[in-house]
Structure 1
Amino acid sequence: MVLELVSTNKSFGGELRKYKFESNSLSLPTQFNIFLPSSSLSSSSSNPTPAPVLYYLAGLTCNEDTGPWKSGILASAAKHSLAVVFPDTSPRGAGIEGEEEDWDFGTGAGFYLNATSEKYKKNYRMYELITEELPRVLEGEKEINVDNSRVSLTGHSMGGHGSLSIYLKSKAGTYKSCSAFAPITNPTACPWGTKAFAGYLSSPSTEGPSHDATLLLPNVAFSPKILIDYGTSDNFFKQGQLLPEKFKEAARKKGLNGEEEVRVRSQEGYDHSYYFISTFVDEHVEFHAKYLKA
């Protein structure tokens, strides 16, 4: 695999790099950004150490640039010496009829699953990209000094759905922690999710639950470490797209509402925007650092 360095920017003492490669998962080229803290760089440290990794999964209409540009996460990552990986939100340029028609389906809206419908299953394999291919890519590049044994997940909206569902389907120890900003927590029961699953899955009614965090939580086989924030003035929350109350109830029924297990916090007056994310991102990075550096 040839990993092409597209750009490098110094930030908070570390480096934000954009890479491009031919993805086997997507059967297309894809790009990702990675922030590397100064402690992991040979150019900045006499004794560089591999950085723990936090994946940031962005939401609908976003791409690999949205998180590093808007979230404010780089300063916190630098403070805690964490690497942050920012994948794209979908394949690009698959040429599938209809994939460009709606903002909440197709391009920019991959929903972090492996599609099974005939139309989308060749290219829309974001779950495989995140959980298998990108970790291999990072491990195979000597200039990317990260510790793939210490990995956590965070995300926003559709990316919050991705971080939660990937985390809850993983084997114990694969990821140290998970957090989400305004996530789609119960996609089988909301318009965004039902639309996406109807397009991507060959049998939405039987396959959908395996991508639904609220339905996955009762059967999780390890002690989850999850932090969720959502705003009470978020219009998508008000429209029933996010359904955090359903996830919180599932956690309560499983006895997981302790401080060290599952926290679902409502933030008064905040909306769905990156102003909301940037307000609480420091707390989320600190949450992950506690487990990644334990």
Structure 2
Amino acid sequence: MELLSASKAFGGSQRVYRHESTACACPMTFAIYLPHQAEEGPVPVLWYLSGLTCTHQNVMDKGEYRAAAAANGIAVICPDTSPRGEDVPDEPGNWQFGSGAGFYLDATQAPYAANYRMESYIRDELPELVARNFPLDMSRQGIFGHSMGGHGAITLALKNPERYRSVSAFAPISQPSTAGWSRPALEKYLGPDEAGWRAYDSTLLIADGHRLKELLVDQGGADGFLEEGLRPQLLEIACATAGIPLQLTLREGYDHSYNFVSTFMAQHIAWHAERLFA
């Protein structure tokens, strides 16, 4: 790993690293916040997955998570949202696909299958890397995210319930297989057979028998993507049908920005802390 930056915050250390990724076949960058409690021994891990167009930097600059992470003694890891580089296939100008829009899936279609393996990267490669290099308690992991990252957090948790003790989301894409801003990306990454898309759709994973112990979701009521892209009511129906406890709160007046995310960030981290330390 190459250390790109490090600075002290709330008694802990905010760092950014770059490493060569086998899963994505290119260099990948991630941020990690280690609270001061990590100096005494391993601390729980909370993964934060960002949304479309973002890198690890957006939540670092605007997410306001460090004070809450330090108060609760939890490390927060913020991966990038996609592979990047001159040799990585992309569609410049298309913010819903390619660079910055990996959708936390493993692509099966050429030319994307060689690099766009974000599910394997988040699930396997990056956890193995950080476990070897930082004082982390990998038996206590939670995951959350925003928008595309909320979608990724929920689908990863549904498929790996033994891995994550807690899962939450800010304004997740609830049914990407039918949403206008995600359906074209799924077809390019996974091909035209929609049966293969089910593994990356929260509502369809639930319909297929995958379960969570519980789920926390916050959604802005003034979010411009609410009705056509996010549609939390579909997730609400799926959870109710499957008997999954869902705490879904519509936050009136809040939009899709990090002003919304940062407002409720500390509440989410405290909610995760209750479960990670249980």
Is TM > 0.5 for Structure 1 vs Structure 2? yes
Cα RMSD for the two superposed structures: 1.3
How many matched pairs?
278
Aligned-pair distance for 1:220? Answer: 4.2
Counterpart of 2:217 in structure 1: which amino acid? I
Counterpart of 1:288 in structure 2: which amino acid? H
Aligned-pair distance for 1:201? Answer: 0.6
Unmatched runs of 5 consecutive residues or more in structure 1: 42-47
Mapping 1:167-182, distance limit 5 Å? 167-170=157-160, 172-182=161-171
3-state DSSP of counterpart to 1:121: helix
Counterpart selection for 2:8 from 4, 7, 10: 10
Counterpart selection for 2:246 from 262, 275, 280: 262
Counterpart of 1:38 in structure 2: which amino acid? H
- TM-score, length-scaled by structure 1: 0.91
Counterpart of 1:60 in structure 2: which amino acid? L
3-state DSSP of counterpart to 2:207: helix
Partner of 1:192: 181
Partner of 1:244: 232
- Between 1:219-228 and 1:116-125, the stretch displaced more is 219-228
Counterpart of 1:54 in structure 2: which amino acid? L
User: Counterparts of 1:96 and 1:51 in 2: how far apart (Å)?
Assistant: 35
Partner of 1:45: none
Unmatched runs of 5 consecutive residues or more in structure 2: none
User: Counterparts of 1:150 and 1:50 in 2: how far apart (Å)?
Assistant: 10
3-state DSSP of counterpart to 1:150: strand
- TM-score, length-scaled by structure 2: 0.96
Partner of 1:38: 36
User: Counterparts of 1:110 and 1:223 in 2: how far apart (Å)?
Assistant: 24
Aligned-pair distance for 1:99? Answer: 2.7
User: Counterparts of 1:131 and 1:64 in 2: how far apart (Å)?
Assistant: 17
Aligned-pair distance for 1:96? Answer: 4.6
User: Counterparts of 2:21 and 2:90 in 1: how far apart (Å)?
Assistant: 22
Q: Pick closer, same or farther for the CA change 1:199–1:145 going to 2, 3 Å.
A: same
Matched, 1:166 2:156: yes
Counterpart selection for 1:19 from 17, 20, 39: 17
User: Counterparts of 1:70 and 1:232 in 2: how far apart (Å)?
Assistant: 20
Q: Residue by residue, what CA displacement relative to the aligned partner does 1:51-91 show, whole Å, maximum 9, x if unpaired? A: 10000000011001111211111111111000000000000
3-state DSSP of counterpart to 2:3: strand
